[in-house]
Chains A and B, each alone.
Chain A
């Protein structure tokens, strides 16, 4: 056995740190925005890489610093924990607009003090016309902007923010120190020839990179000085000794190689923090923490200078720190990434470079830290392969049992070949880690652009029914009118054409954004820790990384697959209704009162849409002003218009509901039935197979993912009813999971269906969520069966799975809103069953049992 498992408990210090981190409200702070504005104003004559480095230096010299009570690992980029700085160089207009409402919004509110508001309002005018987002938009085609305005896809993540989504070579910083990196830069600089065609840009990048590293070292020295000062006035001898140790750590790292486990953790934290100070790109992922930290742990434990308990406390402190950083997003994006998460994905287990099991003591300590702290960060991942020890999987399931939804499980046996297919060497592929939510990459060598866009696969389906018309505008291609479609092939072909047209637009958008980041969003500091930026003399944004990708996410596979099958069976095989009738039923929202999002009257919208569509069908042009006039008229006489244009379609509610009933009677993805599963597979291929044809400006390939983070809910609100029976504005299927409530045969059947998709081609990541009641995992047999469930899903070539193990509150809610919990698995007596399939009395019985089952 190559590892030891230590039994440790969470210390009171960690408890206090955790409480304090969550004590106050997250705030939006203005210090960074003011500093970067000053620096940019002073460097207008400089090339961009140098301006970025000078700004980084200016920020790190003046950003307020603090060592908080009880802290052993120090460094924070905001005055209050869980607060956010502002990054106006990427975009600012939305902050300006939302400054007064940000405190009260439903998703991720931020408090902004009057002083901060004033400071921000003062600097924003400087940025007009200078941001990454403005440049990106200027590069996009009109059709692309139109497609975005009609919510077919959103590249908002990178349009308005830094890229992030990267795992740097933390191990190298620990081994060589930043002085070692500076040394490497100087050697490279010395080797440059002035006559080289790219001498000038390389020289400037390398000097900027060096300056950034020096700024980081100086920043750590500020902490060393502060710690010494605090120690000087500290009256508690224990804390004084701690502060003196902190001062020694910050004097040495990240400048020098780490000489102890404690220094290695502190050095790691500075790197992690400063990447998130240079840019606001999220998903800055620590990657294979157990691999690069283990040598330091092993050395200190063997030398007897550190106990396992002390080591665990330090790791727990890092875990709390990972929850201290935060990010302010615009209101709509906040709903798509709800929960203040920064998706700092930290990975354990898997294989070594030479294909052996990588599990070590540190792997268990990471799991234990999540078990202790029970916090959402880091996004903990475990890599599972055929040789993963059962001990590791058991420990993982113990963490899963806590109900925090961590770790997420990944399958080496699918992901490694998938990465090799994308051009990684087998050695690099074996060393992959996860980024953000579910995206695999080789850390330290990749600029993966993993969240390049969210592509709502349901919107092109709407356009099939309107031949590309949306709200009175020709947005998509004029595909065959539904009334002329003779075969299912006609229908499928139209969907494919719509889908591909908008993928083209998405690629145009992403490449425009890519160029803008290349020109205005270069990151010299981050790039020093990604191979081969120093060698090539280019930042990662300019193509300096060894591996470059763009990964846009499609979601809604299950809705489109189920919808396609329903159309095939009911329209073309059984002639139960026509496509025109189906359209009418969907326009009537299948006979259900529309649950439109806040403040919108869906009936009015629908009627206006119908009127405008008819005018256009008559060959008339409709301007925005005319639409506004129609809207006013309809709002004033809603009842009259509703009678005229009944729910927008003229179809009786009862007929529309009947059509839905027939649709719901069709076989659905998620029940281990070949027919719908094959259809979902084909739909997934339509997206993944087309996306991979493209290349990006950094010289890398596009690769698709199939996951929505939590965007399936907000983007669902923008989507009308779909042919799978989904109501207008309802959430879209989550990741490549089945449509909620449509998988009714338990966890193995759903897993089998999902595994039938080709996960390897969706190499930017797939996501499969399962919900379990804690009692379904309880006891030895429950726990062991659960590990086998994971292994078997992976035998079937599933790529990722994560579990929600839900509590009593959820069960009570499930009783009130059973429609939201149709796949919740509970253990009943001697067997497991779907919660909502049980009678009220039985549900009550189980709810009352839950608390016992929750004792861990």
Chain B
């Protein structure tokens, strides 16, 4: 049973209302801070460190990113859009950062959403212990997780961690969660060959019935500016986004199996 008194604290860096592409309906996205992976293309680099940090705003003024909040405080914001969730079948999406990285806070927040009869979704790396995964399963309606590469070496090279835990968790979730969506950020030079995407699709199709769809998310550079504002350098500076037509053979490679495939989330 999760804590229900609303006092559990967590570190977040944004609450984004009227989010319409991260799960069903009109949603509020809660961005959690702290992530065990260090994907070089990450579009939310301010989400990685588990601590509040200095970050300039878009005009170059100094500022801080990350604030400690209680579940109760976040719920106060969330319920303001109740009527939008009821009308649209929407709800709340925990994203980040990595919500599995703050399990007490995330689970208490998801429980509060459940108690409020809101649809719940998470966007996750699934890089966590099985114990944590099990704790989340009953609290999440829609489980969106990334599969970035099937090759453990390449995964470690680009994301800072190997992929064994992630793939094991994907197998477990596919048997124990009713709605898992697998998502592949398609990064030029990392995983943008039909062979690599095909390998992920083959894996996805080998999983249990809980897996509902495979989404291919084309690389974009929308986070580039944030690296500068954090005083960091962007490793993928020279990579051009894929053209829409370059996505077609990748989608075809993924769609050879029975699992539905789409470009974009």
Interface residues of B in 1-56 (CB under 8 A from A): 16-22, 25-26, 29, 43
A789-B26, A839-B225 as given contacts; A748 in contact with B21, CB under 8 Å: no
- B209 in the interface (beta carbon within 8 A): no
B83–A792 touching, CB < 8 Å: yes
User: Which residues of chain A are within 8 angstroms of B90 by Cβ–Cβ distance?
Assistant: 785, 788
Answer whether A789 and B84 are a contact pair too, CB < 8 Å, given A747-B18, A838-B58.
yes
- List CB contacts (< 8 Å) of A786-825 with chain B: 788-789, 791-792, 795-796, 825
Can you identify 27 A-B contacts, CB atoms within 8 angstroms? A672-B80, A746-B17, A748-B81, A749-B80, A776-B20, A785-B18, A785-B20, A785-B26, A785-B88, A789-B26, A789-B84, A791-B87, A792-B26, A792-B84, A792-B86, A792-B88, A825-B18, A828-B222, A829-B222, A830-B19, A831-B20, A831-B29, A833-B16, A838-B58, A841-B221, A845-B220, A845-B222
A831 interface neighbour in B16, B80, B81, B224, Cβ under 8 Å: B16
In-complex Cβ contact of B20 among A781, A795, A838, A839 (8 A): A781
B265 contacts A by Cβ under 8 Å: yes
**Docked pose: A830 CA to B224 CA in angstroms:** 16
Give the 4 A-B residue pairs with the shortest CB-CB distance, closest first.
A839-B225, A788-B88, A785-B20, A792-B84
Q: CA–CA, A364 to B265, complex, Å?
A: 32
Q: Mark B114-134, 1 if CB is under 8 A from A, else 0.
A: 000000000000000000000
CA separation between A298 and B40, bound complex, in Å?
63
Q: List A residues 837-854 near B (Cβ within 8 Å).
A: 837-842, 845
Q: Quick check: B225 and A831 within 8 Å, CB to CB?
A: no
Bound Cα distance A831, B44 (Å): 13
| Docked CA distance A393–B139 (Å) | 34
A420, CB-defined interface residue at 8 Å:
no
List, in ascending order, chain B residues with CB within 8 A of A747's CB. 18
Given known A792-B83, A792-B88, contact A785–B22 (CB-CB < 8 A): no
**Chain A contacts for B226, CB-based, 8 A:** 839
Give the distance to chain A from B41, nearest Cβ to Cβ, in Å: 12
A825 and chain B: residue at smallest CB distance: B18
A832: interface (CB < 8 Å)? yes
Closest to A842 in B: B222
Query: Pick the contact of B19 from A788, A796, A832, A840 — CB < 8 Å?
Result: A832
Cβ contact within 8 Å between B224 and A841: yes
Interface size on B, residues (CB 8 A): 29
Cross-chain contact B26 with A831 (CB below 8 angstroms):
no
A788 and B222 contact, CB distance less than 8 A = no
Task: Report Cα–Cα, A108/B226, bound state, in Å.
Answer: 45
Considering the complex, which residues of chain A in the window 218-267 have a beta carbon less than 8 Å from any beta carbon of chain B? none
A363 to B151, CA, bound (A): 57
Bound CA–CA A781/B43 (angstroms): 22
B16/A752 in contact, CB under 8 A: no
Residues of A within 8 A of B229 (CB): 839
Per-residue contact bits, chain A 713-750, to B (CB 8 Å; 1 contact, 0 not): 00000000000000000000000000000000111110
Q: Roughly how many angstroms separate A789 CA and B17 CA in the complex, as a whole number?
A: 12
Query: In this complex, which of A782, A788, A796, A840 has the most chain B Cβ atoms within 10 angstroms of its Cβ?
Result: A788
Q: Nearest Cβ distance between residue A664 and chain B, in whole angstroms?
A: 14
Tell me if B225 and A832 are in contact (CB < 8 A). no
**Interface: A66 (CB within 8 A):** no
- When C-beta atoms are compared, the residue in chain A nearest to B225 turns out to be A839
Q: Known: A830-B21, A841-B225. Is A795-B265 also a contact (CB below 8 A)?
A: no
Known interface pairs A791-B87, A842-B222, A842-B225. Does A748 touch B26 (Cβ–Cβ under 8 Å)? yes
Residues of B within 8 A of A745 (CB): 17
Q: Is A784 located at the chain interface by the 8 A CB criterion?
A: yes
Residues of B within 8 A of A (CB): 16-22, 25-26, 29, 43, 58, 80-81, 83-84, 86-88, 90, 217, 220-222, 224-226, 229, 265
The docked-state distance in angstroms from the alpha carbon of A784 to that of B265 is 16
Min CB–CB distance B105 → chain A (angstroms) = 21
Cα distance A838–B43 in the bound complex, in angstroms: 13
* Contact residues in A for B21 (Cβ distance below 8 Å): 781-782, 827, 830-831
Interface majority SS (helix, strand, loop, mixed), chain B: mixed
In the complex, residue of chain B having the shortest beta-carbon distance to the beta carbon of A852:
B244
The 8 Å CB contact of A784, one of B80, B86, B88, is B88
Which residues does chain B contribute within 8 Å of A788, judged by CB atoms? 25-26, 84, 87-88, 90
* Given A838-B58, A842-B222, also A830-B83 (CB < 8 A): no
- Inter-chain CA distance A749–B26, complex, in Å, is 13
- Name the B residues within 8 Å of A782 (CB-CB): 20-21
The interface centre, meaning the residue of B16, B22, B58 with most chain A CB atoms within 10 A of its CB, is B58
Quick one: CB contact mask for A474-513 with B, threshold 8 Å, 1 for yes? 0000000000000000000000000000000000000000
**What distance in Å separates the Cβ of B122 from its nearest Cβ neighbour in chain A?**
14
A792→B224 contact, CB < 8 A:
no
**Who on chain A is nearest to B16 by CB?**
A831
Contact partner, B18, options A746, A837, A839, Cβ 8 Å: A746
Point out the residues of chain B lying under 8 angstroms from A841, CB to CB: 221, 224-225
Bound Cα distance A831, B264 (Å): 12
A829 to B264, alpha carbons, bound, how many Å?
Answer: 9
Contacts of A842 in B (CB 8 A): 222, 225
B17 touches A795 (CB 8 A): no
Report the bound CA distance from A544 to B217 in whole Å: 66
Q: CA of A795 to CA of B17 in the docked complex: distance in angstroms?
A: 18
A845–B223 alpha-carbon span in the complex (Å): 11
Contact A748 B17 (CB under 8 A): yes
CB–CB B26/A829 < 8 A? no
Please tell me if the beta carbons of A829 and B83 are within 8 angstroms of each other in the complex: no
Q: What is the bound-complex CA distance between A749 and B29, given in angstroms?
A: 14
Q: Which residues of chain A are within 8 angstroms of B221 by Cβ–Cβ distance?
A: 841, 845
**Chain B residues with CB under 8 A of A825:** 18
Q: How far does the alpha carbon of A745 sit from the alpha carbon of B77 in the complex, in Å?
A: 11
Residue of A nearest to B220 (CB): A829
Kindly provide the distance from the CB of A811 to the nearest chain B CB, expressed in whole angstroms: 15
Contact A796 B220 (CB under 8 A): no
Please name the residue on chain A nearest to B229 by beta carbon.
Answer: A839
Chain A hits for B84, CB < 8 A: 748, 788-789, 792
Which A residues lie within 8 Å of B225 (CB)?
839-842
> Is the pair B265, A830 in contact by a Cβ cutoff of 8 Å?
yes
- Which residues does chain B contribute within 8 Å of A784, judged by CB atoms? 88
Determine whether the beta carbon of A832 is less than 8 Å from that of B20. yes
Are B25 and A785 touching (Cβ within 8 A)? Answer: yes
Which residues from chain B contact A831 at a C-beta distance below 8 Å? Answer: 16, 19-22, 29
B17 to chain A, nearest CB (A): 5
CB distance from A829 to the nearest CB of B (A): 5
A749 to chain B: closest CB distance in Å? 6
State the CA gap A837–B226 with chains docked (Å): 12
Could you list 14 further interchain pairs (A-B, Cβ under 8 angstroms) beyond the known A746-B17, A782-B20?
A: A745-B17, A776-B20, A785-B26, A788-B87, A788-B90, A792-B81, A795-B83, A795-B87, A829-B220, A832-B19, A832-B20, A837-B58, A841-B221, A845-B220
| Contacting residues, chain B, for A792 (C-beta < 8 A) | 26, 81, 83-84, 86-88
Task: State the CA gap A841–B265 with chains docked (Å).
Answer: 23
Beta-carbon nearest neighbor of B221 in chain A: A845
Nearest Cβ on chain B to A358's Cβ, whole angstroms: 22
Kindly name the residue among A785, A830, A842 whose own CB sees the greatest number of chain B CB atoms within 10 A.
A830
**Which residues of the partner chain B approach A785 to less than 8 Å between Cβ atoms?**
18, 20, 25-26, 88, 90
Among B19, B81, B83, B265: residue with most chain A CB under 10 A: B83
Contacts of A776 in B (CB 8 A): 20
How far apart are the CA atoms of A825 and B18 in the complex, in Å? 10
* Cβ of B10 to closest chain A Cβ, rounded Å: 20
Q: Which residue of A lies closest to B224 (CB)?
A: A841
Contacts of B86 in A (CB 8 A): 792, 795
| A residues in contact with B224, CB < 8 Å | 841
A817–chain B nearest beta-carbon distance, Å: 15
The minimal Cβ–Cβ distance linking B76 to chain A, given in whole angstroms, is 11
Rounded to whole angstroms, the CA-CA distance of A748 and B84 in the bound complex is: 8
A762 to B237, CA, bound (A): 55
Q: Which residues of A contact B58 (CB under 8 A)?
A: 836-839
Q: How far is the CA of A687 from the CA of B14 in the complex (A)?
A: 38
**How many whole Å from A792's CB to the nearest CB in chain B?**
4
